[in-house]
């Protein structure tokens, strides 16, 4: 498994802790930055991670900013991305099982290190359930295709 990981300045420290922990578990990662607490714009990193996942250069993505909200919003603009901003292990699990979330967005200002680790673990352990959920994920993809066509008309 390969994970693309990225953060803005507010999420940098938590991203580093997550990256180090996953690397210690033998998980391959592509760190898309940022590499300090200097102020940067979160959409730049959400796009990098989202595009890497959408192009299948990484299996999954993890994004960290202050709240997780901006990262999820920006990543979800990349076609093929289903980013979930979650605050609990159960939400993380359900985002994978029901929504086939391929990007996890976390809020560094709202999660301590151990809670973030637990969320990441639950998210990585879960897998898409398919079945009735596949129909719904397909409908999300259809919305995306229709909106792309409308934008090009």
- Residues acting as catalytic residues: 65, 98
Cβ-contact 78, 49 below 8 angstroms: no
Tokens of 111: 């999660």
Cβ-contact 65, 83 below 8 angstroms: no
Give CA–CA dist 139/123, Å, rounded.
22
CB atoms closer than 10 angstroms to residue 17: 16
- Displacement of CA 84 from its chain's centroid (Å): 6
Q: Which of helix, strand or coil describes residue 40? A: coil
Place of tokens 């879960």: 126
Cis peptide before 145 (omega within 30 of 0): no
């Amino acid at each position: 498994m390969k994970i693309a990981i990225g953060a803005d300045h507010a999420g940098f420290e938590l991203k580093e802790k997550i990256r180090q922990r996953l690397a210690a578990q033998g998980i391959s990662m592509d760190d898309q930055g940022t590499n300090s607490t200097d102020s940067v714009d979160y959409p730049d990193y959400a796009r990098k991670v989202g595009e890497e996942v959408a192009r299948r250069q990484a299996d999954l993505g993890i994004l960290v900013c202050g709240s997780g909200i901006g990262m999820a919003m920006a990543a979800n603009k990349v076609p093929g991305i289903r980013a979930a901003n979650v605050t609990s292990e159960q939400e993380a699990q359900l985002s994978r099982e029901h929504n086939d979330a391929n990007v996890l967005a976390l809020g560094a200002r709202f999660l301590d290190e151990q809670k973030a680790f637990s969320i990441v673990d639950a998210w990585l352990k879960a897998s898409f359930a398919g079945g009735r959920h596949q129909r719904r994920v397909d409908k999300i993809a259809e919305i995306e295709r229709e909106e792309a066509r409308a934008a090009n008309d």
